[in-house]
Chain A
Amino acid sequence: MKFSIKGPKIEVIVDAAIYNEDVVFKCFYWYSRDFIVDITKNKNEFMIILEPKTAGCDELLLKERVAKDLIDFRLRDTVSKETKTIRELIIAKAFAYYEDETIPEREISDPVGFNPQNISR
């Protein structure tokens, strides 16, 4: 990540190989309270221009916050992509209609010799 101050604006350059588009947009969405955010993509990097809405921005703190947030959103992206199918399965099963009873797939054995499947009805 490269961080530079260009007059009243702050320019952040982010390596697109490390931080994908989802990560960059989700991260800088939260900066749109205090800044006018402009994101453009060049070949292998994103350029983000942050224009403060009010004066009094602490650049050092901001740099630290951006670096932390990018890592956090990359972590979130990792979990989100790795677990997408499971999340969809949970929600689909949660709202599906269930059969009342499922039959066990395996045979049941017992060390004391009691076989419940030999019980005559």
Chain B
Amino acid sequence: MIATHPSIKTNRKFKDQQYYKTDTDTYFLLPFRFHRLNEKREIIVNDCGDFLVVDRGMVEKIISKQIQPGDEIYPDLLANFFISEQPVPPLLNIMATKYRTKKSFLDHFTSLHIFVMSLRCEHTCHYCQVSRVSDNRTAYDMKRDHIDKGIGMMMRSPNPHVTMEFQGGEALLAFDNIKYAVEKAKEEAIKHDKQISFVICSNLALINEEILSYCKENDILLSTSIDGPAFIHNKNRHRLGNNSYELAVAGIRAAKQALGEDKVSALLTTSTLSLDYPQEIVDEYYKLGFRNIFLRPISPYGFAARNKERNFYSAGEFLEFYKKALHHVIAYNRIGEFYREDYTTIILKKILTPFPVGYVDLQSPAGMINNVIVFNYDGDIYASDEARMLAEMKDHTFRLGSLDTHSYEEIFYGEKARTFSDAWLNESLPGCADCAFQPFCGADPVFNYATQGDIYGHRPTSDFCHRNMEIIRYLFELMDNDKEVERIFRTWIKPNC
């Protein structure tokens, strides 16, 4: 919309600059937040995630209305919705559409449905949050009745495309039940006109031709774990024979061959031991043929919390590890190899594109319930994967109900969900509400509760806040200091990468 001028006839001729000038020489501020990136630079960010990196002192000038229309920055401030020449910005609808787009992950509600097929596992990883070494299938495997009810609830999701993820323990120990679940879900999906993606999370120690053949027939993705070279992986992931690494690597190779490179992914869990070997871990992933790595800190839940010597490190220590590893990944790209870090990519997509990212651990509203739900092996329903890990510590705060006794409405819109919703928006959390990085970050009530004792959390002492604020600040600083890094980062966020 263009401002009308009473003395000029409205027609479609090009107008001179005077036509667009407003009656007042000042401007009006639009909502934005700011952060000091370093001693020289600061950043302003609006609610839609538009940003400008400027010299120190510029923010004060903008806010105190010292910027003049002839200043170089003026058109950038106007174009990026930081200031307006009218009290109500003429492009308010555009701003609203951008905001809605950023929150469009809410449009279809829950997509990821985690089925914990068995708590049994033949590994005894020291950082494992949940698993049991047991032969007792009755006690620790999901019953078929619960599989049916879980699928029934999944079909109630308004989301036309749902993901059914099989987890454990070691999910492949209950492979018969996985097959049953896949067949049942496919039947129900036809009835309910839904698309389903299937994922099996496995350490791949038990993978064989029969399983791979079934995965290929049913387009099932495999997600596994690699913690780095053998000396780290086998130290973290114990099993009889001390050969977890060898089995995982053989499994990855067989799975890639049978299913295709893009059907197998691996996750890193950073233990205390890993902190000393960022380059070796990055090299290991590259050596195994992966062109991506997810630098993931340990979750302070379940059994992992009991082994503090091996699993406890500060956010500062993790950040040091992350930065060294990230630089090593960037170094591959500098010599022409495509190789990306996944957590960085998630944040970069939030920064450099107008779209949201479907990553449940970094969203506002939080991913719990809105994007993910967990059906545990015993039929209990939890708000997120981390919530069921807490349950293994006998803390059932985030138990939403049971497949046996609760309806869809009671689970997804019930009293517990409403209670958690008070703390799942970073827009309204103390500390987050004024943070410039809010559009790129998220809220995690389960992490707050597990580490700080309440679902709201305390930002000054929060590892989640410390870690994410520093990573986001660091990424902006890297892109600001080195345009080659920005160019590399932009290759990471291209579609289909």
Contacts and interface: CB of A to CB of B under 8 A. Distances in A.
Contacts of B11: 109-111
Contacts, number: 82
Interface string A67-78: 000011101101
B434 A76 contact: yes
Contact of B97 (A76, A86, A94): A94
A4 B430 CA distance: 28
**A-B residue pairs, 4 tightest by C-beta:** A93-B96, A33-B460, A83-B31, A94-B100
5 contacts: A29-B459, A83-B32, A86-B31, A87-B31, A90-B31
Most buried by A among B36, B100, B434: B434
B431 A29 contact: yes
Contact of B4 (A29, A82, A106): A106
Contacts of B460: 29-33
A86 B430 CA distance: 21
Instruction: Please classify the interface of chain A as helix (H, G, I), strand (E, B), loop, or mixed, using the class held by over half of its residues.
Output: helix
A82 B33 contact: no
B99 A94 contact: yes
Contact of B92 (A90, A95, A110): A90
Most buried by A among B33, B95, B431: B95
Contacts of B12: 108-111
B473 to A, nearest CB: 15
B431 A75 contact: no
A107 interface: yes
A35 B96 CA distance: 40
B10 interface: yes
Nearest to B48: A90
Given A33-B461, A76-B434, A78-B29, 18 more contacts: A26-B434, A29-B430, A29-B431, A30-B459, A32-B458, A72-B34, A72-B36, A75-B34, A75-B63, A78-B63, A79-B31, A79-B33, A83-B29, A86-B88, A90-B31, A93-B93, A110-B11, A111-B12
B160 interface: no
A91 interface: yes
A87 B47 contact: yes
A80 B60 contact: no
Given A75-B34, A78-B63, A110-B11, A91 B430 contact: no
A89 interface: yes
Most buried by B among A26, A76, A79: A79
B367 to A, nearest CB: 19
Interface string A82-106: 1100110111011100000000001
B30 A86 contact: yes
B59 interface: yes
Contacts of B9: 109
Contact of A94 (B63, B96, B434, B459): B96
A56 B461 CA distance: 19
Contacts of A89: 88, 92, 96
A42 B97 CA distance: 46
A33 B466 CA distance: 11
Contacts of A111: 11-13
